[in-house]
Amino acid sequence: MQKITIAIDGYSSTGKSTVAKQLADYLGYVYVDSGAMYRAVTLYAMQNGIISKGNFDIEKLEESLPSIHLKFKKEASWNKAHIFLNGKDVENEIRNLEVSEFVSPIATIHEVRVKLVAQQQQMGLEKGVVMDGRDIGTVVFPNAELKIFMNASAPERAQRRYKELMDRGDTVTFNDILKNIQERDHIDTTREDSPLRKAADAIEIDNSEMNLQDQFHVVLQLAKDRIAGRI
Ligand code: CDP
Ligand code: CDP
């Protein structure tokens, strides 16, 4: 069967990565979490004195880009591919709130985007890929056969992310998560380079009232219809 490219964009904690992974597993496609790449660059910047509270050395970040090597690797016992930063598995570390607080400023930098978009496009050359992020349908794969744009209310999204971080043992407050989500929404939608927006040909899904199973069924049906040429 003909393989297609599926782009899933939208706001933070709308369930993009969950549904993208489920879809990729079902279709036998490759799943790529583009946000993990921005998060890994952010972790590098935090570890190398490039970004901290009140300090952001953009020039040093740009100079450091050739030294930042990102790779996705998957082992049989893992449920999904992990991201490696210069050979080290950072899949867990990049999900903490501190990284979330610095990632959106890092993602505004043009040179960072050029580097990561090129790597993302390389991963999608043979189609059969489901990628989630903010600019997948608009910039990375503007010709993707299926584009989904996900949204949900901010309190609902904050509640979901709060639960996720509490479940893994992080010490966070609901208000800090909500504030972070709102700040990232603002930076991601207003930045000059590749702002988060719905592509003209994307299908919008508000999943404030949908559980994971409901949203998977909606997206899977769209994918099946698109693959079969019904839509
Ligand atoms: O999962 P969550 O929505 O919290 O975020 P993510 O997908 O891990 O992305 C983290 C951040 O990376 C976003 O808030 C954006 O600032 C940036 N990002 C981006 O600019 N472009 C992408 N394609 C993916 C993420
Ligand atoms: O990738 P993105 O940031 O858009 O979201 P995610 O990481 O897939 O989902 C964030 C959290 O919300 C996860 O813990 C999901 O299980 C949960 N979620 C949910 O409970 N119901 C939904 N309809 C969507 C996501």
231: confidence class by pLDDT, cuts 50, 70, 90: confident
Q: Does residue 212 lie within any of the structural domains?
A: yes
pLDDT recorded at residue 12: 95
Residue nearest to atom 14 of ligand 2 (CA): 164
Q: Does residue 133 lie within any of the structural domains?
A: yes
Mutate to test the pocket of ligand 1, among 134, 157, 164 (most ligand atoms within 8 A of CB): 134
Q: Does residue 45 lie within any of the structural domains?
A: yes
Q: How many Cβ atoms are within 10 Å of 141's Cβ, its own excluded?
A: 22
Per the CB < 8 A criterion, the answer to whether 82 and 89 are in contact is yes
Question: What tens digit of pLDDT does each residue of 22-74 get?
Answer: 999 999 999 999 999 999 999 999 999 999 999 999 999 999 999 999 999 99
Please tell me the total count of domains within the chain: 1
pLDDT recorded at residue 17: 97
Q: What domain range is 163 assigned to?
A: 5-221
Q: Does residue 227 lie within any of the structural domains?
A: no
In short, whether 215's Cβ falls inside 6 Å of ligand 2 is yes
Nearest ligand, CA 159: 2
Q: Does residue 226 lie within any of the structural domains?
A: no
> Residue 1: pLDDT above 80?
no
Residue nearest to atom 16 of ligand 1 (CA): 104
- % of the chain with per-residue pLDDT over 70: 100
> Residue 3: pLDDT above 90?
yes
> Residue 2: pLDDT above 90?
no
Per the CB < 8 A criterion, the answer to whether 216 and 22 are in contact is yes
Task: Indicate if the alpha-carbon torsion angle 145, 205, 137, 68 is positive or negative.
Answer: negative
Q: Given the CA of residue 207, which atom of ligand 2 is nearest to it?
A: 23
d(CA 2, CA 161): 35
- Binding site, by residue number, is 10-18
Question: What tens digit of pLDDT does each residue of 112-151 get?
Answer: 999 999 999 999 999 999 999 999 999 999 999 999 999 9
Calculate mean pLDDT across residues 93-103.
Answer: 97
pLDDT recorded at residue 230: 80
CATH of the domain at 217: 3.40.50.300
Mutate to test the pocket of ligand 1, among 8, 9, 12 (most ligand atoms within 8 A of CB): 12
In short, whether 16's Cβ falls inside 6 Å of ligand 2 is yes
Question: What tens digit of pLDDT does each residue of 165-188 get?
Answer: 999 999 999 999 999 999 999 999
Mutate to test the pocket of ligand 2, among 11, 17, 18, 161 (most ligand atoms within 8 A of CB): 18
Q: Does residue 77 lie within any of the structural domains?
A: yes
Q: Does residue 56 lie within any of the structural domains?
A: yes
